[in-house]
Amino acid sequence: MTSVSNSKTIKPNTLKAVPPGDPRDRGGALQPLLLVENLRKHFPIKGGIFNRRVASVKAVDDVSFEVLKGETLGVVGESGCGKSTLARLLMNLIDRDEGALVFDGDQVGDQGGISLRQLRRNMQMVFQDSSSSLNPRLPIMDSVAYGPQVHGTPSKVAQQTARELLEKVGLSPDLFASRYPHELSGGQKQRVNIARALALDPRLLILDEAVSALDKSVEAQVLNLLRYLKTHLSLTYLFISHDLHVVQYISDRVLVMYLGEIVEIGPVDDIYSTPKHPYTQALLASQLSMDPAERVTEAPLSGDPPNPVDPPSGCRFHTRCPFAETVCSQNTPSLGKRNDPQRHSVACHMHEPGSGHSRTQSPPVYVPSHGAATPKNERRLQGAL
């Protein structure tokens, strides 16, 4: 409770911890809340006089992972790597080309599985742009009450729920319920969006850059609010952000994406202390440090990501990787079989026995303060090995 920095506006007794044993839980604690299998989305690029598909943007390509019950899974990667497309696919806001989604044991959209309507009750999303997510003509209480009303809750009950939710996210309903979005600050609008996402009592929240547009101090307040709500409402989060500090702060596990694929996944401490993929190493090395001695003078990751319309063959990172060898452009590395979802897995030939990469037995040592994936560090690492 003390960690919530807006504790003045959250009454201590407004949130009751969910008792152990959520009645909605079907498969038990060990069954992933969401299972994502071989998900693929290629956006068509049309052209020519017949406006036919001439190419496609490979936004999400054969992505498989699990979201475990009660965890926060952080998703990181450069802009354009497919994070938002992944989020929209999970929410079924766009159709997937291939792949399967299984929510707590139920296949999504299949006959006998969970319907899209039921899925929306269980899974909600908060977007980056707090303003455009709210109807400017509706007072915020009506915006929050809208979802339950659409799902058949009587108007009066929905309004009462909305007032309680505003209270939960730290906005006194007496002060805020009748305000319009333009009368709120960015942080307050994002709190309303969180309340709206909670209105159907979901189990999984997908937060797509939900705090990225906020001032640092407001961002910290909203992050603490999210942590608080997660504990008290038994929520699970998929937290997408380009900010590695924020992801480290809030996540239990981290998934790293590059050009539509997962290159590394594992517990947050492992990923941040011993990243295995050269791309993850470069991403972490490019974080800004407050310590002048730790500052990077050379960009750890040079150049723009390749075009997702025509991604490089084999390992998609090979055009930027200082450790790339012939095998890297010929064969696609895989994350391997993952019987244990908690395992730290990496898709890189250097970590794949028998791949043919010369460094398979001695992958380069990560040098946290200066990064690994630069020609300069490559020289240093060669000296160290």
Ligand X SMILES: Nc1ncnc2c1ncn2[C@@H]1O[C@H](COP(=O)(O)OP(=O)(O)O)[C@@H](O)[C@H]1O
Please give the residue ranges that form the binding site for ligand SF4 (CB under 6 A): 277-278, 315, 317-318, 321, 323-324, 328, 333, 348-350
Q: Which positions from 301 to 340 touch ligand X by CB under 6 A, shown as an x/- string?
A: -------x--------------------------------
Give the 3-state secondary structure of residue 54.
strand
Nearer to ligand X, 43 or 180 (CB): 43
Counted residue by residue, the chain has a size of 385
State yes or no: residue 83 binds ligand X (CB under 6 A). Answer: yes
Whole-number Cα distances in Å, 131 to 207, 213, 292, 325: 15, 11, 37, 47
Task: Enter the DSSP assignment of 162.
Answer: H
70 binds ligand X (CB under 6 A): no
Closest contact distance (angstroms) between CB of 87 and Mg ion is 8
Q: Which stretch binds Mg ion (CB under 5 A): 82-90, 105-113, 189-197, 251-259?
A: 82-90
**DSSP letter string over 326-346?**
HHHHHS-------SSTTS-EE
Between 95 and 340, CB nearer to ligand X: 95
Nearer to ligand SF4, 191 or 351 (CB): 351
Closest separation in Å from C-beta 128 to Mg ion = 7
Residue 66's φ and ψ, nearest 5 degrees, are: -125, 150
Which residues between 124 and 153 bind ligand X (CB under 6 A)? none
Cβ-in-10-Å burial (0-12, 13-18, 19+) of 21 comes to exposed
Q: Does 84 participate in binding Mg ion (rule CB under 5 A)?
A: yes
Q: How far apart are the C-alpha atoms of 382 and 365, rounded to whole Å? A: 10
For residue 81, state whether it binds ligand X (rule: CB under 6 A). Answer: yes
- The least CB distance from residue 341 to ligand SF4, in Å, is 23
- Cβ proximity to ligand SF4: between 167 and 352 the closer is 352
Instruction: Please report how close the Cβ of residue 97 comes to ligand X at its closest, in angstroms.
Output: 13
Joined tokens for residue 365? 């040592």
Q: Which is nearer to ligand X, 15 or 57 (CB)?
A: 57
C-beta neighbour count of 41 within 10 angstroms: 23
Contact between 371 and ligand X (CB under 6 A)?
A: no
Conformation bin of residue 77: beta by default, left when phi > 0, alpha when psi is -120 to 50: left
Strand order through the sheet with 236-240: 123-126, 204-208, 236-240, 72-76, 253-258, 261-267, 345-346
Of 7 and 331, which has the nearer Cβ to ligand SF4? 331
Q: Which helix (H) or strand (E) holds 312?
A: none
Measure Cα distances from 212 to 192, 220, 296 in Å.
16, 11, 23
Least distance (Å) from ligand SF4 to the CB of residue 304? 17
259 close to 310: Cβ distance less than 8 angstroms: no
Position among 82, 148, 173, 266 found at the interface with ligand X (CB under 6 A)? 82
x/- contact string, 33-62, with ligand X (CB under 6 A)?
----------x-------------x-x---
**CA nearest to 3, candidates 268, 229, 202:** 229
Pick the stretch among 80-88, 143-151, 275-283, 338-346 that binds Mg ion (CB under 5 A): 80-88
Please name which of 108, 139, 110 lies closest in space to residue 123, comparing C-alpha atoms. Answer: 108
For ligand X, which stretch binds (CB under 6 A), given 72-80, 244-252, 355-363, 373-381? 72-80
**Number of residues forming the site for Mg ion (CB under 5 A):** 2
Residue whose CB is less far from Mg ion, 124 or 128: 128
Distance between CA atoms of residues 130 and 193, nearest Å: 7
* Residue number with CB closer to ligand X (94 or 367): 94
Positions touching Mg ion (CB under 5 A) are 83-84
Positions touching ligand X (CB under 6 A) are 43, 57, 59, 77, 79-85, 308
